[in-house]
A and B are shown apart, each in its own frame.
Chain A
C-alpha cells in the first residue's frame, strides 16, 4: 500500500528526515516510537503534504501512485488521513458544514453524487456513536473550545467519517486520560479492516496496549533505526531510549 524509499526532508532548510525506508501493507498496523525531535511528526507531515516540509530526496509510492506529486486534498481523497497531534481550531466553521464539505468533496473525486442531508446526518450520528462523541460538539465550530480529549476524539470521528485507506495517528494519545484513550483506541480498532492500514506515532507504549501493532519501528535522528514486533515497544517502555541511542551511535564511532 505504502512504500517510502530513502526519504530526506527538511524544514526551513534544516534536514529532519535523513533516509527513511518503510513499507506498509494493507491490513497492517505499524507503530513508530522514538524520542522527542527524532522526526516522527515530520514524517506524518510529509505523508499528508504539509507545505512547511520540503522533500529533498526519495520517493513515496501510495497504491501505485506518486504521493509526492499530489496536493494535500488529493492525498486525502486517495485515502490518506492524518490525525493531527495539535488539531486546528477553526472558529466560525461548524463541524457539520466542515464534515459535509469534506465528505462531498471526497465523493466528487470518486464520481459519486453528494450525500443527501438526511443520509449525511445519519452517517454523522452513526460515526459519533463510534467515538462516543457528545452531540453538542458537532453543532459547534471545528475544535473551537474543545478540550484536549475532545479534539482527539474529533480526529477519530473525522477518520470514521472519511474511512481512509491509511490512517496516520500522530501522538493521538498525548494529553488523553485513560477513558479517552480507551475510547479513541476502540474507535481505531473498530475501523480496522483487512483492506486498510494504520501508522501509529507515539511517544509512549500505553496506546499500544489498546492498539496492537504488527510492527514497531524506532525512529531516531531522522530515520528508522530498529524494527521489531510489539515486544520492542515493551522493551522501550522499560529501558527508555538511551540504549537505542548508544546502539545507533556506537557503530559510527568505530
Chain B
C-alpha cells in the first residue's frame, strides 16, 4: 500500500515542493525517508492495535498536488451550521485554504493573522519557522511522516501577545470531489503570551465518494494564554479521517480540547497535550455517537513535564449496531512534575450486542507527590432509571433517548461557547433520535 505513495513522491516531489512553501519543504525529504522506513501504522503496532486502515487504504485516491482551486465560493453557498454563533468564518476546501474575500477580512483585531499556511510561511517566514514542525518533526509516527511528506498547505492562525479574540474562529473543512480523494494538510496555531482564542473546526463532506483526510495540527499556547479547540466531525460512512493534534502549553496557560464525532466512517484521532509549564490547566474531552459500522479510535496522551499543573480528561461513547470504539488515555508525569493533579474518565454505553468498545487507561507516573486517578466503564443503559421514567408515563424509546442524551451531557457542558453548546445539544439529540443531523440551512451538503 505504501509503495504507490513512495513511487508517487519520487516521481512528483519537485512538483509537490513547487506548490508548497520553502519552510514546509525544509523537512519534506526527511519526512519522506521516515515514511519509507515506517510505512502506514498497522494494527500490528501496539498503539494502532484497534485502528484497521487496510480497507480505506486499499482505495486509490486522487491528490491535488497542482493546487487547483475550486470553482465555488463557500462564503456564498455555505450557511453556517451553528447559526447563532457569531464567528470569524474560514474555509478549507479539501486541503486548500480558501482565500478570504475582502469583506470577509472580518475585522480581526490588530496583529491577528489568519491565512493559509503556505502564504503565511512566505509572508512571515521568521514567525512560522520558529514554530512549524517543532512538535511534529520529532514524532516517529507513520501518519505524521506521511502528512509532512505530502501536505502542501494548511490553516494558519496567529494571535499576538495579550490579544483576545472576542468571537470564536470557525474553520470548516469541506471535502468536495468527483473522484475518491485524499487531503493532507498541516495546520499551525500560535497564541502568544496572554492571548486568547477559540477555534471550532467542523468536518463536512459534500460528495458521496471516498475521502481520506490526514490532518496535522500543531498548537502553541504561550504563557497565560487561553485556548479552546473544538472539533465536530459530521461526515459519512465513506470518510476516513486521521488527525494528529499536538498541543504545547507554557506556564499558566489554559487549554480545552473537545472532540465530538457524530457521523463518520473510520476515524483515528491522536491528541497530545504537552504540558511544558507550571500552573497550567488542561481539559481534554470528547464523545462519540456511533452506529452502523462507524469506527472511532481516540488515542490521547497528556504529558506533564513540569510541576503544579492540572489536567482532566473525559471521554464518552454511545455505540450501536456493529460500530466500534477505542479509547486510549495515556498520562505521563515526569519525575520533576511534582504536585501534578490529573484525572481521567472514560465511560461507554453499548446499545447492541454487536457493538464493540476497547478502552485503555495508561498512567505512567515518575513523580512521587501527585494526585492521579482514572476510571473506565463499559455498560448498558440504566434499567432502573428507564423504569422510573416509564412509571411517569414516558415511553421506553423516549426514556432511552433521555438517558443517552444525559450520558453525554457532561461532555457538552465542557463547551464554553453557549451558542455552540446549545447547537451541539440539538445536533446530538437529533443524532440520537436517528434523524439526519446535518446542519440546517446548509445548502451544499
Does the CB pair A71–B406 fall under 8 Å? Answer: no
Query: Number of A-B pairs whose CB atoms are under 8 Å?
Result: 77
Query: At the interface, yes or no: A135 with Cβ under 8 Å from chain B?
Result: no
Choose from A49, A72, A76, A91 the contact partner of B406 (Cβ within 8 Å).
A91
Interface window among A56-64, A92-100, A184-192, A198-206: A92-100
Q: How far is the CB of A68 from chain B (nearest CB, A)?
A: 15
Query: At the interface, yes or no: A102 with Cβ under 8 Å from chain B?
Result: yes
Does the CB pair B388–A77 fall under 8 Å? Answer: no
Most buried by A among B390, B398, B407: B390
When A51-B387, A88-B384, A90-B388 are in contact, do A77 and B393 touch as well, CB less than 8 Å?
A: yes
What residues of chain A lie closer than 8 Å to B407, measured between beta carbons? 92
When A51-B387, A72-B387 are in contact, do A102 and B392 touch as well, CB less than 8 Å?
A: yes
Having A90-B382, A92-B410, one finds 15 other A-B pairs with CB under 8 Å, namely: A48-B391, A73-B391, A76-B392, A81-B391, A87-B388, A90-B385, A91-B409, A92-B407, A98-B389, A98-B394, A101-B389, A102-B392, A105-B394, A106-B393, A109-B393
Q: How far is the CB of B73 from chain A (nearest CB, A)?
A: 40
Closest to A90 in B: B385
Does the CB pair B393–A76 fall under 8 Å? Answer: yes
Most buried by B among A72, A77, A105, A142: A72
Query: At the interface, yes or no: B9 with Cβ under 8 Å from chain A?
Result: no
When A90-B406, A93-B403, A98-B402 are in contact, do A84 and B388 touch as well, CB less than 8 Å?
A: yes
Does the CB pair B406–A141 fall under 8 Å? Answer: yes
Query: At the interface, yes or no: B395 with Cβ under 8 Å from chain A?
Result: yes
Does the CB pair B409–A90 fall under 8 Å? Answer: no
What residues of chain B lie closer than 8 Å to A48, measured between beta carbons? 391
Does the CB pair B390–A162 fall under 8 Å? Answer: no
When A93-B403, A93-B406, A105-B398 are in contact, do A88 and B388 touch as well, CB less than 8 Å?
A: yes
Q: 1/0 per residue A87-125: CB within 8 Å of B?
A: 111111100011001100110010000000000000000
What is the bound-complex CA distance between A142 and B392, given in angstroms?
13
Does the CB pair B391–A101 fall under 8 Å? Answer: no
Within 8 A of A (CB), among B97-145: none
What residues of chain A lie closer than 8 Å to B382, measured between beta carbons? 88, 90
Query: At the interface, yes or no: B27 with Cβ under 8 Å from chain A?
Result: no
Q: 1/0 per residue B197-229: CB within 8 Å of A?
A: 000000000000000000000000000000000
What residues of chain B lie closer than 8 Å to A97, measured between beta carbons? 402
What is the bound-complex CA distance between A102 and B406, given in angstroms?
16
What is the bound-complex CA distance between A98 and B385, given in angstroms?
12
Q: How far is the CB of A113 from chain B (nearest CB, A)?
A: 16
What residues of chain B lie closer than 8 Å to A91, measured between beta carbons? 406, 409
Closest to B410 in A: A92
Query: At the interface, yes or no: B2 with Cβ under 8 Å from chain A?
Result: no
The SS class assigned to the B binding surface is: helix
Closest to A78 in B: B393
How many residues on B have C-beta within 8 angstroms of the other chain's C-beta atoms? Answer: 23
Query: At the interface, yes or no: B405 with Cβ under 8 Å from chain A?
Result: yes
Q: Hey, which bits of chain A sit against chain B, CB under 8 A?
A: 48-51, 71-73, 75-77, 81-82, 84, 87-93, 97-98, 101-102, 105-106, 109, 141-142, 158, 162
Does the CB pair A92–B405 fall under 8 Å? Answer: yes
Query: At the interface, yes or no: B396 with Cβ under 8 Å from chain A?
Result: yes
What is the bound-complex CA distance between A73 and B389, given in angstroms?
8
What residues of chain A lie closer than 8 Å to B408, measured between beta carbons? 92
Choose from A73, A87, A89, A142 the contact partner of B393 (Cβ within 8 Å).
A73
Closest to A77 in B: B393
What residues of chain B lie closer than 8 Å to A106, measured between beta carbons? 393
Q: How far is the CB of A26 from chain B (nearest CB, A)?
A: 20
What residues of chain B lie closer than 8 Å to A142, measured between beta carbons? 388
Q: How far is the CB of A133 from chain B (nearest CB, A)?
A: 16
What residues of chain B lie closer than 8 Å to A77, measured between beta carbons? 393
What is the bound-complex CA distance between A89 and B388, given in angstroms?
9
What residues of chain B lie closer than 8 Å to A90, measured between beta carbons? 382, 385, 388-389, 402-403, 406
When A90-B388, A90-B389 are in contact, do A101 and B396 touch as well, CB less than 8 Å?
A: no
What is the bound-complex CA distance between A49 and B386, given in angstroms?
12
Does the CB pair A93–B402 fall under 8 Å? Answer: yes
What is the bound-complex CA distance between A84 and B387, given in angstroms?
11
Does the CB pair B385–A88 fall under 8 Å? Answer: yes
Choose from A72, A92, A141 the contact partner of B390 (Cβ within 8 Å).
A72
What is the bound-complex CA distance between A93 and B406, given in angstroms?
5
Does the CB pair B394–A73 fall under 8 Å? Answer: yes
Q: 1/0 per residue B387-430: CB within 8 Å of A?
A: 11111111110100011011111100000000000000000000
What is the bound-complex CA distance between A172 and B396, given in angstroms?
25
Q: How far is the CB of B201 from chain A (nearest CB, A)?
A: 26
What is the bound-complex CA distance between A18 and B394, given in angstroms?
31
When A92-B406, A101-B398, A105-B398 are in contact, do A76 and B388 touch as well, CB less than 8 Å?
A: no
